[in-house]
Amino acid sequence: MTPNHRFPRAPYALLALGVILLLLGSYLGLFVAPPEHFMGDVQRIMYVHVPTAWNALLAMTFALVCAIAFLFRGDFRWDARMEAAIEVGVLLAFLLCCQGAIWAKPTWGVWWDWDPRLTTTAVLLFAFIGILALRRFVDDPVRRATWSAVATIIAYADVPIVYYSVTWWNSLHQLQSSPATVSKSFHLPLRMNAFAILFLMTGFIMLRARLASLRLEHELAPPPHELDAVGELA
């Protein structure tokens, strides 16, 4: 593997694009779009909440893809991408829980509710934090990569089971919001923010993966004195 040592232009461009889109979309969502009939202004958090949810799931799914790719290919670039995707996914899932709590207090009257999606997000968040912890405690890069790939697959397989179990257990959440269930005037800011967060997420994952592969390159490089020995033999 040969990580690029040039200045990474693409991720920074994506980040800038994401920030601009997020500002525009949030402006539209906060000031231009009409208030929702039943919930009023509280509903406007949807413009960040729903895009965050989509992208958190996307980041975690990408982590699963990276885990499977690493186990089959053994290429450490996938390990670096997986580390990046898990970290960004954890961040987004955490933000998702916070936004959900902020929305739930005025709407449902409680910060937290044992609703399937909320609970599944929380379980997923803790499961992936566990994997990040595992990565910290394993020093050998090969083991770290393999084990965290295995743990990622196992944790991801849990998502539908947690979802169904909590659905049977208790339910209160709104039906999923998608452009199809939302009135036309809400579309534009929702879509804009979805792409904004998608760009931000991709930018962060690219930068973080680059950092991870630079670290890996450093770890996998033979120690200096062995290099000397090889030089003498040659």
- Which residue, 31 or 168, has its beta carbon nearer to other proteins? 168
Give Cβ neighbours of residue 71 (< 8 Å, ≥ 6 apart): 146, 149, 150, 153
Out of 151, 194, 198, 200, the only residue in the binding site for other proteins (CB under 8 A) is: 151
Q: Looking at residues 166 to 205 of the shown chain, list those that interact with other proteins (rule: CB under 8 A).
A: 166, 168-169
Interaction of residue 20 with other proteins, rule CB under 8 A: no
- Token pair listed for 205: 């994952």
Cβ neighbors of 152 (< 8 A, separation 6 or more) are: 63, 64, 66, 67, 82, 86, 128, 131
Instruction: Considering only the stretches 105-113, 120-128, 175-183, 226-234, report the one whose residues sit in contact with other proteins under the rule CB under 8 A.
Output: 120-128
> Shortest distance, CB of residue 131 to other proteins, whole angstroms?
7
The site for other proteins, by CB under 8 A, has a size of: 33
Residue number, 38 or 168, with CB nearest to other proteins:
168
DSSP percent split of the chain into helix, strand, coil, nearest 5: 80, 0, 20
For other proteins, the closer of residues 32 and 220 by Cβ is 220
DSSP-derived secondary structure for 160-179:
HHHHHHHHHH---PPPPP-T
Q: If binding is defined by CB under 8 A, does position 164 make contact with other proteins? A: yes
158 lies in the site for other proteins, by CB under 8 A = yes
Report the interface residues with other proteins, using CB under 8 A: 71, 119, 123-124, 126-127, 129-131, 133-134, 136-139, 143, 146-147, 149-151, 153-155, 157-158, 161-162, 164-166, 168-169
